[in-house]
């Protein structure tokens, strides 16, 4: 039985500190970003632009301007991402979060992700601050639009796909996500702010903490007296905020922390 390496020992200590905070908590918020879906094989937002997309910067492609200028390119990107999500499965991180609801009196899951992996892992009503790949709507009249049938062949990465047209007004259908420069869904933001202001522990997982106003949520929790626990292999601007920092991958650390 060799002596655990110092950082392993540190993580063991941090895990037990975090577990103690969770055991005492009445209301836990789990706040997730692209990092929780990374181990399912969904590229994180910063590296979602691999291959052909690399010539774009996500922040320029995920905008109303880009969709207005080249709807086929933008719709094609989201269809490629949606079908990529449909090919993968929730990982042990998503599953551990879903199990947490049986262990704490009150649990609120808030995600910045537009995939449906929390739902497929058993978290029934995650709050999607940035919308979802699975809720397309008409760009003109905002009516919900049906999801295109999943063609057997995935749209090739980088292929242009003309968006479907709205059955009601023939306007172009857009992805049901929040683009840069667009307001977050009021309902979602309000319930996230309410939960962050009243929780005892906020567990932030796999987010770079750079995109606002979502990035405000962990900061609001800390200001309201909650203990923040962070799971991320990299340092983030949230480090100073965290009562406990768990440096490592979500699919490995969350099962250790939450069961
Ligand atoms: C708004 C949906 C106004 C689309 C997304 C200057 C200063 C401050 C703010 C601004 C500014 N200039 C512009 C703004 C506003 C802007 C913003 O914050 N920009 C940033 C870049 C500075 N915000 C907006 O535009 C927002 N709207 O402000 O509107 C307004 C108000 C009223 C009325 C009208 C208008 C809208 C922002 C929403 C944009 N949409 N997503 C899509 O998906 O295509 S954001 C997108 O990026 C994601 O959803 C996510 O939220 C965000 C960041 O991604 P993360 O989830 O953090 O993932 P990321 O790739 O960054 O990091 C992954 C992390 O995981 C890393 O830390 C990594 O270490 C970690 N990781 C990796 N592997 C693992 C792991 N962790 C654990 N386990 C692993 N295995
Ligand atoms: Zn319409």
ipTM: 0.95
Q: Average of pLDDT values for 230-239? A: 96
Give, using CA atoms, the residue closest to atom 41 of ligand 1: 130
In this model, does residue 5 exceed pLDDT 70? no
**DSSP annotation of 6:** H
Q: Token pair for residue 125?
A: 């009503």
Q: Residue 168 Cα, ligand 2 centroid: separation in angstroms?
A: 5
Q: Which pLDDT does position 218 carry in this prediction?
A: 98
Q: How many residues would you count in the chain? A: 259
Task: Confirm whether residue 169 is marked as ligand binding.
Answer: yes
At residue 46, the 3 state secondary structure works out as helix
Task: Confirm whether residue 199 is marked as ligand binding.
Answer: no
Residue-wise pLDDT tens digits, 14-32? 999 999 999 999 999 999 9
Q: List beta partners, residue 107.
A: 28
Neighbours of 55 (CB within 10 A): 9
Task: Confirm whether residue 78 is marked as ligand binding.
Answer: yes
Q: Which pLDDT does position 49 carry in this prediction?
A: 58
In this structure, are residues 118 and 32 in contact, taking their beta carbons and an 8 Å threshold? yes
Q: Residue 210 Cα, ligand 1 centroid: separation in angstroms?
A: 6
Q: Which pLDDT does position 259 carry in this prediction?
A: 74
In this structure, are residues 198 and 214 in contact, taking their beta carbons and an 8 Å threshold? no
Q: How far is CA 219 from the centre of its chain?
A: 17
Position 4 confidence tier, pLDDT thresholds 50, 70, 90: low
Q: Which pLDDT does position 11 carry in this prediction?
A: 86
Q: Residue 211 Cα, ligand 1 centroid: separation in angstroms?
A: 3
Give the mean pLDDT of the chain: 92
Give, using CA atoms, the residue closest to atom 31 of ligand 1: 183
Looking at all shown ligands, the one closest to residue 142's CA atom is 2
């Amino acid at each position: 039985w060799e002596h655990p390496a110092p950082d392993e020992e540190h993580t063991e200590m941090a895990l037990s500190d975090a577990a103690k905070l969770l055991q005492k908590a009445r209301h836990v918020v789990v706040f997730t970003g692209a990092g929780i879906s990374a181990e399912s094989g969904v590229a994180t937002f910063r590296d979602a632009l691999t291959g052909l997309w690399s010539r774009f910067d996500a922040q320029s492609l995920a905008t109303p301007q880009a969709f207005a200028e080249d709807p086929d390119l933008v719709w094609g990107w989201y269809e490629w991402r949606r079908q990529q999500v449909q090919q993968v499965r929730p990982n042990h991180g998503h599953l551990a979060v879903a199990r947490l609801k049986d262990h704490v009196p009150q649990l609120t899951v808030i995600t910045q992700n537009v995939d449906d992996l929390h739902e497929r892992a058993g978290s029934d009503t995650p709050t999607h601050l940035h919308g979802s790949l699975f809720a397309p709507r008409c760009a003109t009249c905002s009516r919900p639009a049906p999801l295109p049938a999943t063609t057997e062949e995935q749209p090739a990465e980088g292929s242009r796909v003309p968006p479907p047209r709205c059955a009601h007004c023939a306007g172009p259908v857009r992805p049901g996500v929040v683009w840069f420069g667009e307001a977050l869904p009021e309902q979602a933001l309000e319930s996230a702010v309410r939960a962050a202001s009243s929780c005892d522990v906020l567990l932030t997982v796999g987010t770079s903490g750079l995109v606002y106003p979502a990035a405000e949520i962990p900061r609001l929790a800390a200001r309201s007296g909650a203990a923040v626990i962070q799971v991320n292999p990299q340092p983030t601007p949230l480090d100073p905020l965290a009562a406990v920092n768990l440096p490592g991958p979500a699919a490995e650390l969350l099962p250790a922390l939450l069961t």
